Amino acid sequence: WFDKDGNSRYEPIIRAPLIIVRLFFNDRIKAEQVELAWKTDKWHTKIVNSSIVGSARKIVELRELGLPATSNNAADIIEFLDAFVSLNRDILPCEKTTNFIGWQGKDGFLIGEEPHGNCDVAFFSDNKGEMQFVDSFGKKGTFEEWKNVIEKVRHFPAIMGALYAALGTPLLKILNINGFTYELAGRTSRGKTTGLRIAVSVWGNPNENSSEGDDDKTQDSLIHSWSGTRVFFERTASLLNGIPLFV
């Protein structure tokens, strides 16, 4: 700011360096996000909807992540971030985001955070649960170890059917056919849960107990409980395009 004599003056508004490092744009829903970076004991980053950096009330919510924003300095932070984007929009990296995973266009495929083919987008949601769900897709162990397990169950048709259903889901788009449901039903202790875990292992963590906080687990399970609400299943299914939903 400038004093009455026209001299520039500097006044700290936040007790940490704060910048915007990247811009994101979801062309499908016409929404912009920004990646904030700030330093306390170390650098922290967080991708948020642009509405967060345009609202003094919402920017304070990032305090729980370590951003030293308060009701006293929130308005100044918002004004600074607005000026930062205006002055640097032409040089800030701008990337694409999507609100679903799986097929992206004709020849791009997004599995969790891992792009395949002609895929230049990253998944983003302002819903913490959806971000955690997408993070559950990924690899652990080796392909050889996985094949050794499959070899032990290859003579069980129902289990192999579940495995083929999980593997074949991306082909529905290519073959232009409708989706389907594959159900493992029967008396208890007949291998239904094992078959489900085998199928889930194609895409991510097959341990339905992982979300309970086991020390050796780094991802939540992709297996959902039947106790979920209709809205939950509809919302979760909308995140998947050519990827199966496991219950």
The span from the CA of 48 to the CA of 37, in Å, is 11
Task: Give me the pLDDT at residue 210, please.
Answer: 66
Sheet holding 108-111, edge to edge: 114-117, 108-111, 101-104, 240-241
Kindly give the residue spans of alpha helices, DSSP state H, lying in 136-181: 143-153, 157-168, 171-175
pLDDT tens figures, 127-177: 888 888 998 898 888 999 999 999 999 999 999 999 999 999 999 999 999
pLDDT tens figures, 51-79: 999 999 999 999 999 999 999 999 999 99
pLDDT tens figures, 81-121: 999 999 999 999 999 999 999 999 889 999 988 999 999 89
Residue 85: Cβ within 10 Å count: 17
User: Is residue 186 scored above 90 in pLDDT?
Assistant: no
Q: Which amino acid is at 140?
A: K
Q: What is the pTM of this model?
A: 0.74
Q: DSSP 3-state assignment of 32?
A: strand
User: Is residue 215 scored above 50 in pLDDT?
Assistant: no
